[in-house]
Amino acid sequence: MSIPLYVPNGDPVKFVINYEDGGNPTKKAALEALWKKFNYPDPSTGQTFNIWYRASSRNKEVQVDRLMPQSAPAGKYRIEIFIPGKHATTKRAVFTVAHNFRLEGGKPAYDDTVTIVNMYDLFDTWYNLGEFELNPAQERMSGRVRQYDMSLEDPATEICFGPVRWVPLNPPKVRFDSPVGAPEEREGPFLARPSQWVGQWFDSNPFLNLYFLGYHTGADLNLSLSSDADRGAPVYAVADGVVIFAGQGSGKWGKIAVIEHHEALVALPNGQSRYQPVYSRYSHLTDDIRIQKGQTVKRGDLVGFIGLAVGVTSGWHLHFDISHSDRLKTNPSHWPNLTRFNELRAEKKTDTKEYRNVCAVILKEVVTHYVDPLKFLKDNH
Protein backbone atom coordinates (compact mmCIF):
# COMPACT_ATOMS: atom_id res chain seq x y z
CA MET A 1 0.00 0.00 0.00
CA SER A 2 1.22 3.51 -0.74
CA ILE A 3 1.33 6.44 1.66
CA PRO A 4 -2.16 7.99 2.06
CA LEU A 5 -2.77 11.72 2.12
CA TYR A 6 -4.46 12.75 5.37
CA VAL A 7 -6.31 15.96 6.07
CA PRO A 8 -6.44 16.56 9.82
CA ASN A 9 -9.62 18.00 11.30
CA GLY A 10 -9.28 21.70 12.01
CA ASP A 11 -6.92 22.51 9.12
CA PRO A 12 -8.29 25.94 8.12
CA VAL A 13 -7.46 25.45 4.43
CA LYS A 14 -8.52 21.84 3.88
CA PHE A 15 -11.18 21.32 6.59
CA VAL A 16 -13.86 23.87 5.72
CA ILE A 17 -17.11 24.24 7.74
CA ASN A 18 -20.16 25.92 6.25
CA TYR A 19 -23.24 26.81 8.32
CA GLU A 20 -26.76 27.17 6.89
CA ASP A 21 -27.43 30.24 9.02
CA GLY A 22 -29.24 32.44 6.48
CA GLY A 23 -26.80 35.22 7.32
CA ASN A 24 -28.02 35.26 10.95
CA PRO A 25 -25.02 35.62 13.33
CA THR A 26 -27.00 34.36 16.35
CA LYS A 27 -28.01 31.20 14.52
CA LYS A 28 -24.47 30.67 13.27
CA ALA A 29 -23.10 31.01 16.80
CA ALA A 30 -25.67 28.49 18.04
CA LEU A 31 -24.63 25.99 15.33
CA GLU A 32 -20.96 26.53 16.07
CA ALA A 33 -21.54 25.89 19.78
CA LEU A 34 -22.87 22.38 19.16
CA TRP A 35 -19.47 20.91 18.19
CA LYS A 36 -17.82 18.44 20.56
CA LYS A 37 -14.36 16.95 20.09
CA PHE A 38 -12.20 14.12 21.37
CA ASN A 39 -8.86 12.47 20.61
CA TYR A 40 -8.96 8.91 19.36
CA PRO A 41 -6.31 6.42 18.14
CA ASP A 42 -6.60 4.52 14.87
CA PRO A 43 -5.77 0.98 16.05
CA SER A 44 -4.43 -0.04 12.61
CA THR A 45 -1.75 2.68 12.39
CA GLY A 46 -1.39 3.99 15.96
CA GLN A 47 -2.07 7.53 14.72
CA THR A 48 -4.21 9.66 17.04
CA PHE A 49 -6.83 11.93 15.49
CA ASN A 50 -8.85 14.84 16.80
CA ILE A 51 -12.41 13.87 15.93
CA TRP A 52 -15.39 16.23 15.88
CA TYR A 53 -19.00 15.18 16.43
CA ARG A 54 -22.45 16.66 16.91
CA ALA A 55 -26.10 15.68 17.13
CA SER A 56 -27.81 14.81 13.87
CA SER A 57 -30.45 17.21 12.58
CA ARG A 58 -33.68 17.17 10.58
CA ASN A 59 -32.58 20.04 8.36
CA LYS A 60 -29.27 20.52 6.62
CA GLU A 61 -27.54 22.95 8.96
CA VAL A 62 -23.85 22.13 8.79
CA GLN A 63 -21.66 20.83 6.02
CA VAL A 64 -17.96 20.06 6.21
CA ASP A 65 -15.67 19.90 3.18
CA ARG A 66 -12.31 18.15 3.19
CA LEU A 67 -10.05 19.19 0.33
CA MET A 68 -7.05 17.29 -0.97
CA PRO A 69 -3.66 18.99 -0.76
CA GLN A 70 -3.20 20.79 -4.08
CA SER A 71 0.30 19.32 -4.34
CA ALA A 72 -1.16 15.81 -4.68
CA PRO A 73 -0.26 14.36 -8.10
CA ALA A 74 -3.01 13.56 -10.59
CA GLY A 75 -4.03 9.93 -10.52
CA LYS A 76 -6.38 7.34 -9.15
CA TYR A 77 -7.18 7.41 -5.43
CA ARG A 78 -9.26 5.36 -3.00
CA ILE A 79 -11.04 7.70 -0.58
CA GLU A 80 -11.61 6.46 2.97
CA ILE A 81 -13.26 7.95 6.06
CA PHE A 82 -12.36 6.90 9.61
CA ILE A 83 -15.23 5.85 11.87
CA PRO A 84 -14.31 5.64 15.56
CA GLY A 85 -15.85 3.24 18.07
CA LYS A 86 -17.72 6.04 19.85
CA HIS A 87 -19.83 9.13 19.08
CA ALA A 88 -20.83 7.67 15.71
CA THR A 89 -24.33 6.27 16.16
CA THR A 90 -26.14 7.56 13.07
CA LYS A 91 -27.29 5.03 10.51
CA ARG A 92 -27.55 7.72 7.83
CA ALA A 93 -24.38 9.81 7.54
CA VAL A 94 -24.32 11.49 4.12
CA PHE A 95 -21.06 11.92 2.18
CA THR A 96 -20.45 13.21 -1.32
CA VAL A 97 -17.28 13.03 -3.43
CA ALA A 98 -16.66 15.62 -6.16
CA HIS A 99 -14.92 14.28 -9.26
CA ASN A 100 -15.07 14.07 -13.07
CA PHE A 101 -14.67 17.83 -13.60
CA ARG A 102 -15.30 18.66 -17.26
CA LEU A 103 -16.90 21.07 -19.69
CA GLU A 104 -20.39 20.30 -20.97
CA GLY A 105 -21.55 22.52 -23.77
CA GLY A 106 -18.83 24.95 -22.77
CA LYS A 107 -19.97 25.03 -19.13
CA PRO A 108 -18.10 23.53 -16.17
CA ALA A 109 -19.66 20.37 -14.73
CA TYR A 110 -18.74 17.64 -12.27
CA ASP A 111 -20.17 14.60 -10.51
CA ASP A 112 -20.94 14.51 -6.79
CA THR A 113 -21.17 10.82 -5.87
CA VAL A 114 -23.34 10.26 -2.78
CA THR A 115 -22.75 7.55 -0.17
CA ILE A 116 -24.97 6.91 2.88
CA VAL A 117 -22.89 5.37 5.67
CA ASN A 118 -24.28 3.35 8.58
CA MET A 119 -21.85 4.47 11.30
CA TYR A 120 -23.81 2.61 13.97
CA ASP A 121 -22.57 -0.76 12.74
CA LEU A 122 -18.93 0.28 12.13
CA PHE A 123 -16.16 0.49 14.74
CA ASP A 124 -12.57 1.74 14.42
CA THR A 125 -12.45 1.26 10.70
CA TRP A 126 -11.66 3.05 7.46
CA TYR A 127 -14.77 3.01 5.27
CA ASN A 128 -14.22 3.03 1.51
CA LEU A 129 -16.14 5.76 -0.37
CA GLY A 130 -14.84 4.50 -3.72
CA GLU A 131 -12.01 4.95 -6.22
CA PHE A 132 -11.78 8.10 -8.32
CA GLU A 133 -9.50 9.72 -10.91
CA LEU A 134 -8.51 13.03 -9.30
CA ASN A 135 -6.43 16.07 -10.18
CA PRO A 136 -6.56 18.73 -7.42
CA ALA A 137 -3.74 20.78 -8.96
CA GLN A 138 -5.91 21.46 -12.00
CA GLU A 139 -9.29 21.62 -10.21
CA ARG A 140 -9.24 22.67 -6.54
CA MET A 141 -12.48 20.79 -5.73
CA SER A 142 -11.36 17.50 -7.32
CA GLY A 143 -11.59 14.81 -4.63
CA ARG A 144 -13.55 17.03 -2.22
CA VAL A 145 -15.33 14.98 0.47
CA ARG A 146 -18.42 16.80 1.77
CA GLN A 147 -20.35 15.62 4.81
CA TYR A 148 -23.67 16.81 6.27
CA ASP A 149 -25.15 16.78 9.76
CA MET A 150 -28.64 15.94 8.45
CA SER A 151 -29.83 12.35 8.97
CA LEU A 152 -33.63 12.80 9.53
CA GLU A 153 -33.40 10.40 12.48
CA ASP A 154 -35.78 10.80 15.42
CA PRO A 155 -34.59 10.94 18.12
CA ALA A 156 -31.33 12.58 17.12
CA THR A 157 -28.16 10.49 16.94
CA GLU A 158 -24.46 11.40 16.93
CA ILE A 159 -22.56 12.03 13.69
CA CYS A 160 -18.79 12.05 13.79
CA PHE A 161 -16.67 14.07 11.39
CA GLY A 162 -13.45 12.03 11.51
CA PRO A 163 -10.36 12.15 9.33
CA VAL A 164 -10.43 11.48 5.59
CA ARG A 165 -7.60 9.96 3.60
CA TRP A 166 -6.87 9.65 -0.10
CA VAL A 167 -4.83 6.53 -0.88
CA PRO A 168 -2.89 6.83 -4.17
CA LEU A 169 -3.38 3.67 -6.22
CA ASN A 170 -0.76 4.23 -8.93
CA PRO A 171 2.11 6.08 -7.27
CA PRO A 172 4.80 7.40 -9.60
CA LYS A 173 7.56 4.87 -10.07
CA VAL A 174 11.12 5.93 -9.32
CA ARG A 175 13.72 3.74 -10.99
CA PHE A 176 16.67 2.35 -9.06
CA ASP A 177 19.81 0.95 -10.73
CA SER A 178 22.89 -0.90 -9.50
CA PRO A 179 25.52 1.41 -7.88
CA VAL A 180 28.31 -0.34 -9.83
CA GLY A 181 28.83 -1.72 -13.33
CA ALA A 182 28.96 -0.42 -16.88
CA PRO A 183 25.99 1.77 -17.90
CA GLU A 184 24.14 -1.03 -19.69
CA GLU A 185 24.88 -3.38 -16.79
CA ARG A 186 23.62 -0.99 -14.12
CA GLU A 187 20.25 -0.89 -15.81
CA GLY A 188 20.00 -4.63 -15.27
CA PRO A 189 18.53 -7.12 -15.46
CA PHE A 190 19.93 -8.28 -12.17
CA LEU A 191 21.28 -11.78 -12.34
CA ALA A 192 19.42 -14.72 -10.96
CA ARG A 193 22.11 -16.10 -8.70
CA PRO A 194 21.57 -14.65 -5.23
CA SER A 195 25.08 -13.27 -4.69
CA GLN A 196 25.54 -12.02 -8.26
CA TRP A 197 24.45 -8.49 -9.12
CA VAL A 198 25.22 -7.25 -12.61
CA GLY A 199 27.94 -8.20 -15.09
CA GLN A 200 30.92 -9.60 -13.21
CA TRP A 201 29.92 -7.88 -9.96
CA PHE A 202 29.06 -10.07 -7.01
CA ASP A 203 28.23 -9.66 -3.33
CA SER A 204 30.80 -11.30 -1.05
CA ASN A 205 28.79 -10.66 2.13
CA PRO A 206 25.01 -10.80 1.55
CA PHE A 207 22.33 -9.06 3.62
CA LEU A 208 21.91 -10.52 7.15
CA ASN A 209 25.03 -12.68 6.86
CA LEU A 210 26.35 -13.19 10.42
CA TYR A 211 30.07 -12.42 10.51
CA PHE A 212 32.60 -10.82 12.84
CA LEU A 213 30.87 -7.40 12.59
CA GLY A 214 27.39 -8.73 13.41
CA TYR A 215 24.62 -9.13 10.85
CA HIS A 216 25.48 -7.47 7.55
CA THR A 217 23.30 -4.44 6.82
CA GLY A 218 23.78 -4.55 3.05
CA ALA A 219 26.03 -5.88 0.29
CA ASP A 220 29.81 -5.91 -0.20
CA LEU A 221 30.23 -5.47 -3.92
CA ASN A 222 33.32 -6.85 -5.63
CA LEU A 223 34.43 -7.39 -9.19
CA SER A 224 35.27 -11.05 -9.67
CA LEU A 225 38.07 -10.69 -12.24
CA SER A 226 40.73 -10.51 -9.50
CA SER A 227 40.79 -9.53 -5.86
CA ASP A 228 41.69 -5.88 -6.57
CA ALA A 229 39.88 -5.53 -9.89
CA ASP A 230 37.33 -3.18 -8.36
CA ARG A 231 39.95 -0.83 -6.89
CA GLY A 232 39.01 2.72 -7.88
CA ALA A 233 35.96 1.58 -9.86
CA PRO A 234 33.28 4.31 -10.20
CA VAL A 235 30.23 4.29 -7.90
CA TYR A 236 26.94 5.78 -9.09
CA ALA A 237 23.75 7.14 -7.48
CA VAL A 238 21.14 4.37 -7.67
CA ALA A 239 18.23 6.80 -8.19
CA ASP A 240 17.26 10.48 -8.17
CA GLY A 241 17.58 12.05 -4.74
CA VAL A 242 19.19 14.55 -2.41
CA VAL A 243 22.60 14.09 -0.79
CA ILE A 244 22.28 13.85 3.00
CA PHE A 245 25.95 13.25 3.79
CA ALA A 246 29.24 13.06 1.89
CA GLY A 247 32.51 12.84 3.80
CA GLN A 248 34.46 11.07 6.51
CA GLY A 249 32.48 8.45 8.43
CA SER A 250 33.24 7.48 12.00
CA GLY A 251 35.23 4.38 13.00
CA LYS A 252 36.48 2.24 10.13
CA TRP A 253 34.01 3.51 7.55
CA GLY A 254 36.40 5.69 5.59
CA LYS A 255 34.55 8.05 3.25
CA ILE A 256 30.79 7.53 2.92
CA ALA A 257 27.88 9.10 1.09
CA VAL A 258 24.15 8.91 1.90
CA ILE A 259 21.41 9.85 -0.57
CA GLU A 260 17.72 10.35 0.30
CA HIS A 261 15.20 9.09 -2.28
CA HIS A 262 11.54 9.98 -2.28
CA GLU A 263 9.25 7.11 -3.19
CA ALA A 264 10.18 3.46 -3.41
CA LEU A 265 8.49 0.14 -2.84
CA VAL A 266 9.75 -1.34 0.44
CA ALA A 267 9.03 -4.91 1.55
CA LEU A 268 8.77 -4.65 5.34
CA PRO A 269 9.80 -7.44 7.74
CA ASN A 270 6.12 -8.03 8.61
CA GLY A 271 5.44 -9.09 5.02
CA GLN A 272 3.68 -5.89 3.94
CA SER A 273 4.92 -3.61 1.17
CA ARG A 274 4.49 0.12 0.89
CA TYR A 275 5.84 3.18 -0.93
CA GLN A 276 7.99 5.41 1.27
CA PRO A 277 11.28 7.38 1.33
CA VAL A 278 14.52 5.36 1.51
CA TYR A 279 18.22 6.11 1.99
CA SER A 280 21.09 4.58 0.01
CA ARG A 281 24.58 4.47 1.54
CA TYR A 282 27.89 4.08 -0.31
CA SER A 283 30.80 3.23 1.99
CA HIS A 284 34.60 2.77 1.92
CA LEU A 285 34.95 5.34 -0.89
CA THR A 286 38.25 7.03 -1.78
CA ASP A 287 38.84 10.66 -0.78
CA ASP A 288 37.67 11.76 -4.23
CA ILE A 289 33.94 12.12 -3.49
CA ARG A 290 32.09 13.83 -6.34
CA ILE A 291 28.86 14.83 -4.57
CA GLN A 292 28.15 17.30 -1.75
CA LYS A 293 25.65 17.50 1.08
CA GLY A 294 22.42 19.19 -0.02
CA GLN A 295 23.03 18.56 -3.71
CA THR A 296 20.28 17.12 -5.92
CA VAL A 297 21.47 14.08 -7.88
CA LYS A 298 20.09 12.06 -10.77
CA ARG A 299 20.14 8.31 -11.19
CA GLY A 300 23.55 7.37 -12.58
CA ASP A 301 25.41 10.48 -11.34
CA LEU A 302 28.99 9.74 -10.26
CA VAL A 303 29.24 9.50 -6.45
CA GLY A 304 32.91 8.54 -6.09
CA PHE A 305 35.30 5.58 -6.37
CA ILE A 306 35.78 2.29 -4.55
CA GLY A 307 38.40 2.54 -1.82
CA LEU A 308 39.97 0.25 0.73
CA ALA A 309 37.92 -0.84 3.72
CA VAL A 310 40.32 0.04 6.54
CA GLY A 311 40.73 -2.89 8.92
CA VAL A 312 38.17 -4.97 7.09
CA THR A 313 39.62 -8.19 5.74
CA SER A 314 37.74 -8.23 2.45
CA GLY A 315 39.82 -5.28 1.19
CA TRP A 316 38.71 -3.19 -1.77
CA HIS A 317 34.92 -3.25 -2.12
CA LEU A 318 31.84 -1.07 -2.01
CA HIS A 319 29.70 -1.53 1.09
CA PHE A 320 26.21 -0.60 -0.12
CA ASP A 321 23.01 -0.62 1.89
CA ILE A 322 19.43 0.65 1.75
CA SER A 323 17.66 1.97 4.86
CA HIS A 324 13.89 2.31 5.15
CA SER A 325 14.06 4.26 8.44
CA ASP A 326 15.53 7.75 8.90
CA ARG A 327 18.50 6.42 10.87
CA LEU A 328 21.06 7.25 8.15
CA LYS A 329 19.68 10.78 8.01
CA THR A 330 20.52 11.34 11.68
CA ASN A 331 23.60 9.07 11.79
CA PRO A 332 25.25 8.39 8.40
CA SER A 333 27.78 6.07 10.10
CA HIS A 334 25.13 3.97 11.83
CA TRP A 335 26.03 0.41 12.76
CA PRO A 336 24.48 -1.71 15.53
CA ASN A 337 26.33 -1.62 18.87
CA LEU A 338 28.68 -4.64 18.99
CA THR A 339 30.25 -4.11 22.44
CA ARG A 340 28.79 -7.20 24.15
CA PHE A 341 28.91 -9.21 20.89
CA ASN A 342 32.68 -8.60 20.67
CA GLU A 343 33.26 -9.37 24.35
CA LEU A 344 31.47 -12.71 24.15
CA ARG A 345 33.33 -13.68 20.98
CA ALA A 346 36.69 -12.74 22.57
CA GLU A 347 35.77 -14.93 25.53
CA LYS A 348 34.76 -17.72 23.10
CA LYS A 349 31.26 -17.79 24.61
CA THR A 350 29.41 -18.07 21.31
CA ASP A 351 27.54 -21.21 22.39
CA THR A 352 25.82 -19.39 25.28
CA LYS A 353 22.27 -18.21 25.64
CA GLU A 354 23.50 -14.65 26.21
CA TYR A 355 25.34 -14.68 22.88
CA ARG A 356 22.20 -15.85 21.09
CA ASN A 357 20.21 -13.10 22.81
CA VAL A 358 22.79 -10.46 21.85
CA CYS A 359 22.65 -11.69 18.24
CA ALA A 360 18.85 -11.51 18.26
CA VAL A 361 18.97 -7.87 19.43
CA ILE A 362 21.46 -6.98 16.66
CA LEU A 363 19.38 -8.78 14.04
CA LYS A 364 16.27 -6.89 15.12
CA GLU A 365 18.10 -3.57 14.88
CA VAL A 366 19.34 -4.39 11.37
CA VAL A 367 15.91 -5.36 10.00
CA THR A 368 14.36 -2.32 11.72
CA HIS A 369 16.55 -0.04 9.60
CA TYR A 370 17.69 -1.96 6.51
CA VAL A 371 16.23 -4.06 3.71
CA ASP A 372 17.85 -6.61 1.42
CA PRO A 373 19.44 -4.26 -1.17
CA LEU A 374 19.36 -6.73 -4.06
CA LYS A 375 15.68 -7.55 -3.55
CA PHE A 376 14.98 -3.83 -3.17
CA LEU A 377 16.72 -2.99 -6.47
CA LYS A 378 14.84 -5.78 -8.26
CA ASP A 379 11.52 -4.50 -6.83
CA ASN A 380 12.23 -0.92 -7.90
CA HIS A 381 13.91 -1.42 -11.20
Q: Is the Cβ of residue 264 or residue 312 nearer to Zn ion in the bound state? A: 312
Cβ at position 261, least distance to Zn ion in Å: 20
CB of 265 to Zn ion, least distance (A): 24
The residues near 62 (Cβ < 8 Å, ≥ 6 apart) are: 17, 18, 19, 20, 31, 54, 148, 149
Which H or E element spans position 284?
strand 273-285
- Ranked by CB distance to Zn ion, the top (closest) residue is 319
Closest approach of Cβ 377 to Zn ion, in Å?
16
The residue among 151 and 283 lying less far from Zn ion, judged by its C-beta, is 283
Distance CA 116, CA 355 (A): 58
The dihedral over CA atoms of 44, 47, 48, 54, expressed in degrees to the nearest 10, equals -60
Q: What gap in Å lies between CA 95 and CA 106, rounded to an integer?
A: 28
Residues 293, 213: Cα–Cα separation, whole Å: 28
Rounded distance between C-alpha atoms, residue 256 and residue 260, angstroms = 14
- SS3 for 195? coil
CB of 282 to Zn ion, least distance (A): 11
Min dist. Cβ of residue 230 to Zn ion (A): 13
Q: What share of the chain is helix, strand, coil (3-state, %, to 5)?
A: 15, 40, 45
Give the residue with the Cβ less far from Zn ion, 54 or 319: 319
Nearer to Zn ion, 220 or 365 (CB): 220
Of the two residues 231 and 262, which places its CB atom closer to Zn ion in the complex? 231
> How many whole angstroms separate alpha carbon 237 and alpha carbon 190?
17
- Least distance between Zn ion and beta carbon 357 (Å): 24
Residues forming the site for Zn ion (CB under 5 A): 220, 319
Kindly tell me which of 158 and 220 has the beta carbon lying closer to Zn ion.
Answer: 220
